[in-house]
A = this chain, B = another copy of it.
Amino acid sequence: MTSTAKPTKDRIVAAANKLFYDEGIRGVSVDAVAERAGVTKRTLYYHFKSKDDLIAAYLEGRDQPNLVLFKRWFDEAKGGLPMKVQAIFDNLAHSARHPKWRGCGFLRTSAELANMPGHPAMKIGAAHKKKFEAWLQTEFDTAKLSNAPLLARQIALLLDGSFATVLLHRDAAYMEAAGLAANKLVSTAKRAASKAPRSS
């Protein structure tokens, strides 16, 4: 309980992450995950009570790494707020040009499981996207922009549109077009009225 981590379970999740992301949830059998993890199916089912449980663990494992990456791209970008937002899209475009890129694991899973709205994986995916939106909102609030919640939502929509569109067309240029739109929306956002305005 209090001691070292369990490598077996982690190895199973790592194998699931690789295969589910590469080939899709329903395109990968539990046998394949077990084989790649170097365990038997019986061992896999000792750690996870069902494939659905494994799918949830797969997405759970992608939550923080993805968010951290977006924040890092934002933080390390030069320029003002619009350029920092745009930098997320430009960095993502770079990633998307890698041949093994397969879009957003959360969105693809939600597309596959669209007929199961209550699936645990759907909740994890929705929570992940909400965290991203909430983080953007705090950045916009800090910059004293009015309508920060709406603006954060619109940037998130552009980002998810990029994921979906680039996956279909296999053309990362769409991501840069989305980045320009995001830059423009942030640039033209008004500053919030201060609490004690000096003049009307």
Contact = CB atoms under 8 A, between A and B. Distances in A.
Interface of A: 22-24, 26-27, 102-103, 106-108, 110-115, 117, 122, 125-126, 129-130, 150, 153-154, 156-165, 167-170, 174, 177-178, 180-181, 184-185, 188
Contacts of A22: 115
A164 B26 contact: no
Contacts of A178: 154, 157
Q: State the oligomeric state as a number of copies.
A: 2
Contact of A188 (B130, B180, B184): B184
B129 A169 contact: yes
Contacts of A129: 165, 168-169
Contacts of A167: 110-111, 114
A24 to B, nearest CB: 6
A70 to B, nearest CB: 16
Contact of A150 (B111, B159, B177): B177
A115 B168 contact: no
Contacts of A156: 161, 165
A128 B169 CA distance: 11
A125 B169 CA distance: 9
B154 A160 contact: no
Given A102-B115, A161-B159, A168 B108 contact: no
